[in-house]
Structure 1
Amino acid sequence: MTVTADSTIADVLREKPEAADILFRFGMGCIGCALANGESLRQAALGHGIPLDELLEALGMEE
């Protein structure tokens, strides 16, 4: 599966377990968050005030 900015956080973490450390660096405690199964990476970035392009670059992902 290819994960994108529109993938859920849970999918991103399943496909890229190393993403957990990066999400924490950006102030996102998404591993235990109940929204991880339904919220996209794009939505989470917006909700946390994180520039999506910076987050995707750190995760090695494209939009």
Structure 2
Amino acid sequence: MMITKEMGIGEVVEQYPKTIEVFRNYGMGCFGCAAARFENIDQGAQAHGINIEALIADLNKAV
């Protein structure tokens, strides 16, 4: 299964713990905050000014 920008941050971290490091490298500590339960990856990336295509590519490389 590929990670997509529509997937929830919490969902991805729960299923793929290796992605925590990727999120951290992008300055997204979101997996520990309440918003991670409600935001998808795209929303989190936009809130942090992160290139979503690069983030998704790196998340998929990690898994």
Q: TM-score range by the shorter chain?
A: 0.7 to 0.9
Sequence identity (%) = 34
Q: For this pair of structures, how many residues does the alignment match?
A: 61
Q: How does 1:1-12 map to 2 (within 5 A)?
A: 3-12=3-12
Greater share of residues in helix: 2
Unaligned runs of 5+ in 2: none
CA RMSD of superposed structures (Å) = 1.6
Q: How does 1:1-63 map to 2 (within 5 A)?
A: 3-60=3-60
TM-score, normalised by the number of residues in structure 1: 0.86
Deviation at 1:31, TM superposition (A): 2.3
Unaligned runs of 5+ in 1: none
